[in-house]
Structure 1
Amino acid sequence: MVNYPKEPLYLDDYGENVKVKNFLLSIPFDGVDKTTKLSKNLMLHEIVEAAFVTKEEQPEFNRIPYDVRLPNIFQILRDALGKPIYVTSSFRSKNHEYSKDRKGTSQHVLGKAWDLKGEGLVQLIKEAVETKNQLYTKLRNAGLNGLGIYNTFIHVDTRESQDLVVFTDNREGDKKKSLCAQCLFKITAIIALGAFVVVKTVSYLIKRKKK
């Protein structure tokens, strides 16, 4: 594992479109604000609960960076799907990324990416990309420039790009290949063991017959 340097929890400047929102209730109250809406079907506390920072950063984690275009992208997908969708990963600190042996260059670190999950969501986005339908156009106009399509969730981000950057996850395929390789190894080992037993048995019977 690479020995990464410790980084500040927040960047000095997240750039255009990224808002750094305080999510704690005002004194004398405490706890997370659970009344602020970011869109019709999305509450502020939902993206706070989907953020990832290290244990050491928890005491100073009181604001969350997010691109103001992301709630609109969320709502467009929610309306198109007609079912609930959920943010499973929002802001991630550089130190959290380092702890997972990642480079810390993810759009999540910049407050420009969310991972979303919902029944039928993956198929919905696949169809949009393949057909370049009305949903695709709406998402692009809303600022969607990066899209990850996985087996059970999608990644959306607002990176700087003229074209939509689409990527997929090959980990499931690699996992299946690994399992196949393991099965092949076991089968080969069983066959080799069986052949060894046969050879030893035949050898024993031949020696016994000679006696």
Structure 2
Amino acid sequence: MARWEPNTRERLVRAALDLFVEQGYDATTVQQIADRVGLTKMTFFRHFPDKREVLFAGQETHARALTEAILAAPAGATPLEAVRAGLKGLASLFTDTHRAMSAQLRTVIAANAELLERAAFKRAILVQAATAALGERGVREPAAGLAAELGISAFYRAFDQWAERPGEEMLADLTRQALDELLATAAGLVSDSRPVDGSSTAPLTA
């Protein structure tokens, strides 16, 4: 069997992540990234507008997969069922090949305020994509936005677990579990009539 070689785009992502971890994001240049994989700076810019976007490669693909899977959910699906379908479609893009890279990615982003801001923007894009897809299915606000927020929150919680704990668990399974946990927590908040300070409203008895 021929040895699989990553394409140019993925080679640049891997090189950038390694350099960011080794010497820091700010200290790494585009030239160094290109040199690491034996490519030119011009080749780098054919794939990415700058070094920051290397860390967010695939954003359009992720939003598209999420949208298409939500729209493809059965006609009778509830908003949350449609979101579950969307999350399954999104999670299917991430394989074990990406797991180690994802752990590096989280480390690099967490250490840089600019990257944290860009990551928040990507998350907002996914929420917007899910909300819009639900809207196309006839789901109105605030239900569409709330279902989308819950779904993307579950995905990010699951993604963190998936990146941190290499093992047999699939991202799709972790995402499903995370969404179930969030829904159970939300239901508990609705049924809990105690004041926010945790004190009891029941009358005192002797």
Higher strand proportion (structure 1 or 2): 1
Higher relative contact order (CA 8 A, sep 6+): 2
TM-score by length of 2: 0.29
TM-score by length of 1: 0.29
Higher helix proportion (structure 1 or 2): 2
